[in-house]
């Protein structure tokens, strides 16, 4: 089969899926689902059991046979973020590799949310119209819920809540054994978790009404979306009518009406109660069901990376970085200037650093968020930035990329990586070198506004045989900037072998 075909496998907590798509046309030619629930007990902090690993390996071998039958030579296996949280997840991934030859690539929750956004933008016709107004994309995963808020076609905020239908189902099972009124207690539990999470959403978004694009709501999709279609819209009243019917129906009726099996019918009640609270919280005006999932997002991104789709959604990553910086009250004028100087330096120094477009994106994010540690304490704020970023998820970035951004932010100020790069032994030598190069550039850019006074209007860069001349255009006294520049530039010399030289040119002579 032609090289345009690609096989994508997603190993999730409650199921495994294979999708074979034509990357050039976007057409799905095969879709196979296995009900092997490899991680159904992970939310109770239990290990993945060995028997389920054997079942998963058998299912994966079956997927491989389907891929072979179609003549597909390009394929990839991903493991969901929820599955990666199992205590023995890395052991299980290795066991699956030994048994099948397939290597799991873990996908972060931020990446899951991002690829879903890509798929919705390209495959849901109403997307462009909806995101011009206040719109919330809500994605349901087994153990979490993702939110992306849009207005004027720009991402305003992106958040992930560690609460999803499967996690709620396990709570309900415990409540049925311990509480006299488990449904009422579960409803209170969901309300408290959502309210506690939602207070971190920006204040200006908490009171606005939203159009809601809902992803991953299988019971609602099966009930409302017409056969042969991939989306439909419904009113809140239609949802409430569905809720009343589902809450009073038997499992047998729900399995027949919603096309569910014995393993998935138990998710209906948790999902309905969760959505009931979410729609009230985001002030939903109307609900748009879209039958897409993470696997659709992963194949869409693969098509973009392969050049079949000429789209770039990195602006959502930058918007998410700005939202994170705003949450930690980063001073916007300094941030904007460092952002501007950092990108200018990166572009003018390509012959020195030989870094990629993805590296430029990571540096761009670091330039935005490097000062977030000041929210805790301005003293040694770079150490706090490092900690916060390591514990954060950002839309579109992998966990490893967040570690790189955290390290670059750690070294933007007084400390230098130097011998401390040994702290990052989990990263390869190439990645440690990337950190050093990115940090060296950010340090110089940050030094150009060390006093946070925005005294430099613009800069020019000239690469010479033994030095890099950076000319600052300003009419102000730049004594402090010159001192900070000379101090922070030493590490640049260590990394690139050229001495940065600071010069000033007056704007008005």
Contacts of 282 (CB under 8 A, 6+ apart): 136, 138, 147, 210, 212
Q: What is the pTM of this model?
A: 0.91
Considering the domain architecture, whether residues 249 and 388 belong to the same structural domain is answered as no
pLDDT of residue 210: 97
User: CATH number for the domain including 43?
Assistant: 3.30.420.40
pLDDT at 405 over 60: yes
Considering the domain architecture, whether residues 358 and 274 belong to the same structural domain is answered as no
For residues 165, 114, 88, 54, the Cα torsion angle rounded to the nearest 10 degrees is 80
Contacts of 43 (CB under 8 A, 6+ apart): 143, 166, 167, 170
Contacts of 392 (CB under 8 A, 6+ apart): 324, 402
Number of domains in the chain: 3
Task: Give residue-wise pLDDT tens across range 346-400.
Answer: 999 999 999 999 999 999 999 999 999 888 877 777 788 889 998 989 999 999 9
Tell me whether residue 115 is in a domain. Answer: no
Considering the domain architecture, whether residues 139 and 99 belong to the same structural domain is answered as no
The structure tokens listed for 318 are 């930058």
Considering the domain architecture, whether residues 280 and 334 belong to the same structural domain is answered as no
pLDDT of residue 200: 87
Considering the domain architecture, whether residues 369 and 494 belong to the same structural domain is answered as yes
pLDDT of residue 368: 97
Tell me whether residue 120 is in a domain. Answer: no
Domain that holds residue 57: 5-107
pLDDT of residue 284: 96
d(CA 134, CA 127): 12
pLDDT at 52 over 90: no
pLDDT category at 112 given cuts 50, 70, 90 is very high
Tell me whether residue 301 is in a domain. Answer: no
pLDDT category at 419 given cuts 50, 70, 90 is low
Task: Give residue-wise pLDDT tens across range 280-339.
Answer: 999 999 999 999 999 999 999 999 999 999 899 999 999 999 999 999 999 999 999 999
Considering the domain architecture, whether residues 419 and 481 belong to the same structural domain is answered as yes
Question: Residue 355 has what DSSP assignment?
Answer: -
Give mean pLDDT, residues 15-25: 94
Considering the domain architecture, whether residues 266 and 151 belong to the same structural domain is answered as yes
Instruction: Provide the b/e sequence for 332-361 (b: ≥16 CB within 10 Å).
Output: eebbebbbbbbbbbbebbeebbebeeebbb
Greatest CA separation for the chain: 85
Whether 110 contacts 393, CB under 8 Å: yes
Question: Residue 333 has what DSSP assignment?
Answer: H
Rounded to 5 degrees, φ, ψ at 351 are: -65, -20
Considering the domain architecture, whether residues 155 and 240 belong to the same structural domain is answered as yes
Considering the domain architecture, whether residues 75 and 131 belong to the same structural domain is answered as no
pLDDT category at 415 given cuts 50, 70, 90 is low
Considering the domain architecture, whether residues 74 and 151 belong to the same structural domain is answered as no
pLDDT of residue 129: 96
Handedness of CA 119, 125, 127, 132 (dihedral sign): positive
d(CA 473, CA 458): 6
Tell me whether residue 390 is in a domain. Answer: yes
């Amino acid at each position: 089969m032609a090289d345009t075909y690609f096989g994508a496998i997603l190993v999730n907590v409650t199921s495994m899926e294979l999708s074979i798509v034509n990357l050039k046309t976007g057409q799905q030619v095969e879709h196979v689902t296995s009900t092997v629930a490899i991680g159904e007990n992970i939310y109770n902090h239990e290990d993945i059991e060995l028997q389920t690993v054997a079942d998963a390996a058998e299912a994966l071998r079956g997927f491989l046979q389907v891929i072979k039958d179609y003549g597909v030579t390009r394929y990839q296996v991903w493991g969901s973020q929820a599955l990666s949280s199992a205590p023995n997840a890395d052991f299980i991934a290795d066991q699956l590799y030994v048994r099948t030859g397939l290597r799991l690539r873990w996908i972060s929750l931020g990446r899951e949310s991002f690829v879903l956004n890509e798929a919705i933008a390209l495959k849901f016709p109403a997307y462009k119209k909806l995101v011009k107004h206040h719109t919330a994309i809500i994605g349901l995963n087994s153990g979490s819920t993702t939110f992306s808020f849009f207005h004027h076609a720009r991402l305003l905020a992106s958040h992930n809540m560690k609460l999803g239908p499967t996690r709620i189902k396990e709570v309900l099972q415990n409540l049925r054994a311990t509480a006299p009124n488990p449904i009422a207690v579960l409803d209170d539990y969901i309300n408290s978790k959502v309210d506690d999470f939602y207070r971190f959403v920006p204040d200006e978004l908490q009171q606005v009404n939203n159009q809601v694009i809902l992803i991953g709501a299988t019971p609602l999709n099966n009930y409302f979306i017409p056969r042969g279609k991939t989306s439909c819209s419904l009113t809140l009243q239609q949802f409430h009518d569905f809720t009343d019917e589902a809450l009073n129906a038997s499992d047998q009726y729900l399995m027949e009406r919603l096309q569910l099996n014995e393993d998935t019918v138990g998710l209906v009640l948790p999902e309905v109660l969760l959505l009931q609270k979410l729609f009230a919280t985001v002030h939903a005006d109307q609900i748009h069901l879209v039958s897409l999932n993470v696997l659709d997002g992963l194949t869409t991104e693969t098509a973009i990376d392969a050049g079949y789709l000429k789209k770039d959604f990195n602006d959502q990553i930058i918007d998410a970085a700005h939202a994170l910086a705003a949450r930690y009250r980063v001073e916007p004028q300094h941030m904007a200037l460092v952002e501007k100087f950092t990108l200018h330096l990166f572009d003018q120094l390509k012959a020195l650093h030989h870094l990629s477009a993805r590296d430029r994106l990571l540096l761009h994010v670091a330039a935005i968020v490097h000062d977030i540690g000041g929210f805790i304490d301005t003293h040694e704020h770079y150490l706090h930035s490092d900690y916060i970023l390591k514990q954060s998820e950002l839309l579109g970035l992998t966990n490893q990329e967040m570690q790189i951004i955290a390290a670059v932010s750690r070294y933007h100020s007084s400390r230098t990586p130097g011998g401390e790069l040994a702290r990052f032994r989990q990263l390869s030598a190439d990645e440690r070198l990337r950190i050093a190069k990115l940090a060296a550039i950010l340090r110089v850019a940050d030094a150009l506004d060390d006093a946070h006074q925005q005294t430099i209007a613009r800069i020019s860069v000239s690469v010479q045989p033994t030095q890099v001349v950076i000319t600052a255009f300003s009419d102000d006294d730049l004594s402090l900037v010159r001192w900070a520049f000379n101090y922070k530039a030493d590490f640049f010399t260590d990394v690139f072998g050229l001495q940065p030289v600071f010069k000033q040119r007056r704007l008005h002579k």
